Structure 1
Amino acid sequence: MYRVVLALAWPVMAEMALQTLTQMVDMAMVGRLGATSIAAVGLSFRPLFIGHALFLGLGTAATALVARSTGAGERAQADHAATQALASSFALALSFGVGLWMWSDGIILAMGGSGDVVALGGTYLRGLAPGMVCMMMSVILSSSLRGAGDTRTPMQVNFVANVINVIGNYLLIFGHFGFPRLGVFGAAVATSIARAVALAFFLTVTIGGGRAVRILPGRLFRPDWDLIGRLFRVGLPAALNGVVLSVALAVHLRLVAGLGTVAVAAATLAGNVEQLSFMPALGFSVAAAALAGQSLGAGDPARARAAIWESTKLCSAFMGAMGLAFVLAPAWFLRLFTDDALVLGPGIDLLRIVALAQLPTAVGQVLAGGLRGAGDTASVLYITVISTALCRLSLTFLLVTRLGYGLNAAWLAVVVDWTLRALLAWWRFAAGNWQHVRV
């Protein structure tokens, strides 16, 4: 079983590694513009996650339905589900992009930004708005492919897009080779261009056929309301789960913002480094989701259980190693972004705290991925609401705002959050009810 899991997980990890590397290069380039630019981009990320979460929810539904159909040997139904998911995403993505453009400054202000941070953050969001529309539709296509067991195509497409992003950053942030020096706005424009290219590639390979799943152009404008209803029944709890988590992350950062610009910059950079450890978590959670859905579609719940548990064990080994690296060499990771001593000091402390969360994050993420692949998205939502409300937000508010313990206390609350989430996910997995969820 571990070979099957690794075969699905490694392309996702490679894709995530390149994407994370791209974000690190992006932030490293922005970091050369100063702490204000870092804070502006950092405050922009959390609201973007909310919109991204909505489409990850629909993508989760696409994965679950495509995986079930693939496991049952119903290729035509898998293609139909992917097509209806893409059609459903278009109007939602366009609405989000327009709203992001119109209210960009207000979003940064609501996140606790002020002065130059608001101006730079608003500019960044406006440049990123077109790219968000493209990215959201790409999420649906990549999720459908993964549900069918094809994790390599998303890796290949995103490899090309990320290379374009890095080159665009170099040219547009600093104005090299005759291009205009656009600073933070240049980083956003480069990202939007890269995401547009990614969408074009995804559409080309899925409409053209020859892949694990195919988009049917003739059915894009012929809604199947029963199937769309099933997509939203599975996808809505997953979307709400993402929104709850994204809002919690945004509120958490808002509480940190009260500690000053340096605290926001340190938290942003530590968060970027932390994403390195999310590579195995995402890879193995995708493998668990695809294999659980396909196994249940084939009528083999024992294989679904084995796939989820094997994915969890492998992920724990990878993330445990990452935690050790964060403890032993935190400054090395942070210096990839900045040499500012004011930011490095608190950032080093944060990374060592993040190390404590690696194992519970592995367990919580992968078990949740397996539950989502089975269509049990409601349980994952309840787990997220309970853990974030009790730990990440309430505990941070108490420790930071009321008791004044500072930045480190805010991240200790995150460790407690992930620990509770892992325990609740394990309880749900062990109960076995997820094996009987209908999608």
Structure 2
Amino acid sequence: MTVREHLRRIFSSEWEPDLTSGGIVRPLLYLSIPLIVTNVLQTAYNIADTFWLGRYGTTELAAISFAFPLVFLLISVAMGLSVAGSILVAQYVGAGREAEAEYAASQTVTFSILGSLVLGVGGYFVVEDLLALFGAEPAVVAAAAEYMRIYSLGLVFVFGFFVFVSLMRGYGDTVTPMLIMFVSVTINIVLDPLLIFGVGAFPELGIAGAAYATIFSRGVTLVLGLWIMFAGYRGVRIRLSQLTPDLSFGWKLVRLGFPASFEGASRALSINLLLVIVALFSTPVIAAYGIGTRILSVIVLPAIALSQGVETMTGQNVGAGNPDRAAAANRVAAIALFVTLTAIGLLSTLIAEPLVAVFTTDPAVIDAGATFLYYVAPTFGLFGAMYVYMGGFRGAGMTSSAAALVILAFGVVQLPVAWIAAGAIGPTGIWLSFAVSHLVGAVVAVAWFQRGTWRGGDLASDGRLESPSADVPSDD
């Protein structure tokens, strides 16, 4: 059996969950468990970089703390297009309009790649100036800029895979992206120490090695993901004849995706502005902030995964005319996640110092990182509930509501609290701002969703975002 035939057998399963009828828990778990694994694997990129760079040098560890939020800021604009594509695919599939789903997926691939190319090239020339605004030590800025320039030029490979994951998720297939992500992470984990430290024939590249490892591993799996979608073995299919940019459809993607982009950009911007406050303190505090946010990103992965699963279930059920089923999926996911993550958060406070010590041996960093967890970890469940309902808003096409929640929680609440509290009680005030923002965000998200305004967000049937014609181009 050839490699091509073997791969085709892996990805040609005909069984897929019915998201629009029957029970809620089973299809939600089917969507969300692979997403949890995928997001864990995604975070493994950041953990591997943090782990190896922490052993390479404190300057590099602090630099990656600055680089990670800026990376997310660069890709967030283009990420909005992938979210828009995922929502449209979900609603069209729920409405039984497969041709429109394929057309939406193909156009999303085209405009997302174009957007990431523009952002990547533009980002290459401005990253150092942006990093300098944070007020970090010159050595830290120089190291972070080196990482960011490489990452910016390879942004199309990084983002291209995110598009693949989003479109497959909109169709209801989360298993295939999980398998591809495993390949990608394995390549990155193997290359990281080889390129950072210089092992055997590999040169010692330091922080640049972490960037090259990420770009190469993303590029390999992007090629595999595109092959799967062109072949149509699993999930939504893209077609060569439908990749020609359709400016009218692109504008519709932008209209739906801009709030999602703004959501991601606002969250990234709030983290970057928070770094301005963090940078007022010592390098160990900056390093502790980087470690703390990495731990936070791992532990709340179920929140992100269930939010994405709820987004797909909401989208398909709204498209199918089942808003009550969509509401039930949101409610069940929010309650389950609140209970689970609150328990995990309380457990994390009991092992805070050993947990931080996994990433560093510096006593000052361990102490500051443990304090971060004492304040933030008990609110993990609140963060999870907020993110579930944000997924519900996005799935219904109300991406502006999800963006507004992010702005409220992390812009209107967290930043002022961090600034005032840090001036009054030091770094502890920054950690306190996370807990306050999680509480406010969760309360507002629940109250807003229960108003039911999202029930009017059926994009697949109201004609606002349909494909240009009923007879979309086909390769068949």
TM-score class, shorter: over 0.9
1:212-256, Cα deviation, whole Å (9 max, x unpaired): 10111111114161x323322211111111111111111011111
The equivalent residue for 2:209 is 186
- Gap runs ≥5 in structure 1: none
1:343-388 deviations in Å (ceiling 9; x for gaps): 1011111012121221110110111011111111111222222222
3-state DSSP class of the match of 2:233?
A: coil
Q: 1:110 aligns with which of 133, 136, 145?
A: 133
Q: How does 1:361-380 map to 2 (within 5 A)?
A: 361-380=383-402
Match of 1:157 in 2: 180
TM-score by length of 2: 0.89
| Range moving further from structure 2, 307-316 or 9-18 | 307-316
Partner of residue 338, structure 1: 360
Q: Does the CA-based 8 Å contact 1:60-1:373 persist in structure 2?
A: no
Distance change in 2, residues 1:137/1:21 (3 Å): closer
SS for the counterpart of 2:200 is: helix
**1:303 and 2:331 matched:** no
Aligned residue type for 1:77: E
Unaligned runs of 5+ in 2: 1-23, 460-476
Q: Give the whole-Å Cα distance in 2 for the aligned partners of 1:262 and 1:175.
A: 26
Indicate if the aligned counterparts of 1:364 and 1:422 stay in contact, CA closer than 8 A: yes
In the other structure, the counterpart of 1:205 is: 228
- The residue type equivalent to 1:271 in the other structure is T
Give the distance between the partners of 2:395 and 2:253, measured in 1 at CA: 13
Equivalent position to 1:429, from 439, 444, 449: 449
**Which of 128, 144, 152 pairs up with 1:129?**
152
Task: Judge conservation of contact 1:82–1:141 (CA < 8 Å) in 2.
Answer: no
Partner Cα separation in structure 2 for residue 313 and residue 56 of structure 1 = 28
- The Cα of 1:438 is off from its aligned counterpart by 3.9
Q: Percent identity?
A: 31
Contact 2:74 / 2:123 at 8 angstroms: preserved in 1? no
Matched, 1:94 2:114: no
Distance 1:211 1:307 in 2: 25
- Aligned residue for 1:33? 56
The 5-angstrom pairing of residues 230-249 of structure 1 reads 230-249=252-271
Q: Distance in 1 between matches of 2:44 and 2:374?
A: 21
> Is 1:69 matched with 2:92?
yes
Q: Structure 1 residue 176 and structure 2 residue 196: aligned?
A: no
Decide which structure has greater helix share: 1
Amino acid in the other structure paired with 1:340: D
Aligned-partner SS, 1:103: helix
CA distance in 2, matches of 1:224, 1:54: 18
Q: Number of paired residues?
A: 436
Quote the offset at 1:429 in angstroms: 0.9
Which of 393, 406, 415 lines up with 2:426 in the alignment? 406
In structure 2, relative to structure 1, the CA distance for the partners of 1:201 and 1:111 (3 Å cut) is farther
CA contact (8 A) 1:296 1:304 kept: yes
Quick one: distance in 1 between partners of 2:411 and 2:340?
28
Whether the 8 Å CA contact 2:304–2:384 is kept in 1: the answer is no
Compared CA separation, residues 331 and 152, structure 1 to 2 (3 A): same
- Does structure 2 conserve the Cα–Cα contact (< 8 Å) formed by 1:55 and 1:140? no
